[in-house]
Structure 1
């Protein structure tokens, strides 16, 4: 399943530490695209594992995570504006 994950971590209440942990977890499963945006292909099991790891650190009263899912990347058009820094193009 093709996944796009976007997060918004508040800097309140030790937020920098939470941000660092969330970033590392996301990078373990997905490709870092831009600031708080990650994308990649994951199985349902990997999505569940990712959610479980993030759930330990994300504060439900301060932070948010959105996961967009598509059965296949081909059903999604990707258009870049501004700085053309598509970090996913670095992979062979």
Structure 2
């Protein structure tokens, strides 16, 4: 499955969330990551995020998709993603 994660967390946890997600997904732009994952990886990511954030203060949204979506970027591309084989 393909997932997109967007987050809005307290500044004291931003770097922890970013560092964790960089181990699993591709950084797209500030507070946005995406990538292809297995169901086991998806569960590991969800559990890892829960350990880092404060669910009473922070917000993380995970979009689950069947396939990689087509994207159209308008403006500056923060982290160009090319099809890597």
TM-score by length of 2: 0.89
Asked if 2 retains the 8 angstrom alpha-carbon contact of 1:2 and 1:70, the reply is yes
Q: Are residues 1:82 and 2:75 paired?
A: yes
Larger radius of gyration: 1
Contiguous gaps of at least 5 residues in structure 1: none
Q: Are residues 1:4 and 2:1 paired?
A: no
Q: What's the offset of the Cα at 1:88?
A: 1.9
Of stretches 39-48 and 82-91 in structure 1, the one that deviates more from structure 2 is 82-91
Aligned length: 85
TM-score by length of 1: 0.83
Which 4+ runs in 1 deviate beyond 2 A? 84-87, 89-92
Contiguous gaps of at least 5 residues in structure 2: none
The verdict on how the C-alpha distance between 1:20 and 1:84 changes in structure 2, with shifts beyond 3 A counting, is closer
1:37-84 Cα distance to aligned partner (Å, 9 max, x none): 0011000100100111111111111111001111111xx231111113
